Amino acid sequence: MSAYKPPAIPSSEITPKNLFLARRKFMQMAGGAAAAALLPTSLWAGEKLSGIVKSGYTVNEELTPYKDVTSYNNFYEFGTGKEDPAQNAGTLKTRPWTVTVEGEVNKPKVFDIEELLKMAPLEERVYRLRCVEAWSMVVPWLGFPLAELIKRVEPNSKAKYVEFVSLLDPVQMPGQRSMVLEWPYREGLRIDEAMHPLTLLTLGLYGELLPNQNGAPIRIVVPWKYGFKSAKSIVSIRFTEQQPISSWMRAGPNEYGFYSNVNPDVDHARWSQAKERRIGDFLKRKTLYFNGYQDEVAQLYAGMDLQKNF
């Protein structure tokens, strides 16, 4: 695996936030300690995190500003417009939250989100995010390899795939009242893809816990695949013998394949994937095979026809 160069300066200094969160403002106005007594002891979306480990996984590219990362999103549970998640995701309650891990494993378990936060040191990994609509970002994600969780539940010999299921709650997620997809949202990976060290169990970005609109409190980031493969607000992880049918495969099987690797040679049914526009840029750039992670992941697909298996 090739090593990347670390950022020239810490990410927290590259794109500082101009406004504090309302809770933090309240704490400052109230004198800190008195206000803190009114707050829950558990961490919530937007809270700053400490003890983050700088990872060797990074890219020597300019980070996408925080305001863009948190205001231009695909999260259909809160609406189909790019600005809808930031406007509507305040209804999502991320505590309490549990993730059930089950299926073809020897040690099924229900993990509390606070337990997951302490499972392994949180790493900051700067990954490209490439969306199927041909726009992209560079984001400093916080998390740890999904493989760490997988090892703890001990998949058995029948476990060939991993399915991720997102929260189903139309009250908290108003976009689920529409029929744009079959709910709850489902995605899947082959187990070797899920075990790959680049696959990140993601709990934060830009030094803080995930904002609701970015998939709080827990999501997957698979950087060599299109963004819709990275399931958000996960409540269940299930190991299966048969390939799961993801939400987008069910909605448009001729447009969204199971593998969904970034491949500029395979066009979407309605547009080209040869180029992409980085958020904030005017001109488009050439799309990279596997989103630029070819050296790390191409061996997973040796001998496969990646136009047929799109």
Asked if residue 194 belongs to a domain, the reply is yes
Q: Where are the beta strands (DSSP E) in 95-232?
A: 98-103, 109-112, 123-130, 135-145, 161-166, 186-190, 200-205, 208-209, 219-221
- State residue 45's pLDDT score: 79
Asked if residue 7 belongs to a domain, the reply is no
Asked if residue 32 belongs to a domain, the reply is no
Q: How far is CA 138 from each of CA 13, 65, 128, 155, 185, rounded to the nearest angstrom?
A: 15, 9, 4, 32, 24
Q: Nearest-CA neighbor of 4 among 124, 137, 116? A: 124
Average pLDDT in the 223-251 region? Answer: 98
Residue 166 belongs to domain with CATH number: 3.90.420.10
- Average the pLDDT over each of 39-48, 188-197, 287-296 and give the range with the smallest value: 39-48
Res. 44 pLDDT band, cuts 50 70 90 = confident
Residue 71: φ, ψ to 5°: -130, -5
Residue 213: φ, ψ to 5°: -70, -10
Over residues 228-239, the pLDDT tens digits come to 999 999 999 999
Q: How far is CA 225 from each of CA 26, 96, 109, 124, rounded to the nearest angstrom?
A: 40, 30, 28, 19
Asked if residue 289 belongs to a domain, the reply is no
How many structural domains does the chain have? 1
Output the pTM of the full model.
Answer: 0.86
Q: How far is CA 88 from each of CA 17, 131, 159, 211, rounded to the nearest angstrom?
A: 21, 21, 37, 12
| Both structure tokens of 200 | 């990140």
- State residue 46's pLDDT score: 81
If you search the block for the tokens 């099924």, which residue do you land on? 108
97/17: higher pLDDT? 97
* pLDDT reading at 33 higher than 90: no
Q: Alpha-carbon distance 72 to 89, whole Å?
A: 13
Asked if residue 27 belongs to a domain, the reply is no
* pLDDT reading at 41 higher than 60: no
Domain interval for residue 95: 49-254
Q: Nearest-CA neighbor of 37 among 48, 46, 26? A: 26
* pLDDT reading at 36 higher than 80: no
Average pLDDT in the 196-205 region? Answer: 98
Asked if residue 229 belongs to a domain, the reply is yes
Asked if residue 309 belongs to a domain, the reply is no
- State residue 5's pLDDT score: 41
Asked if residue 18 belongs to a domain, the reply is no
Over residues 138-188, the pLDDT tens digits come to 999 999 999 999 999 999 999 999 999 999 999 999 999 999 999 999 999
Over residues 60-115, the pLDDT tens digits come to 999 999 999 999 999 999 999 999 999 999 999 999 999 999 999 999 999 999 99
Please state whether the peptide bond connecting residue 108 to the residue before it is cis, i.e. omega within 30 degrees of 0. no
300 class by beta-carbon count within 10 Å (0-12 exposed, 13-18 middle, 19+ buried): middle
Angle at 221 between CA 220 and CA 227, to 5 degrees: 110
- State residue 42's pLDDT score: 61
Over residues 250-305, the pLDDT tens digits come to 999 999 999 999 999 999 999 999 999 999 999 999 999 999 999 999 999 999 99
Over residues 122-141, the pLDDT tens digits come to 999 999 999 999 999 999 99
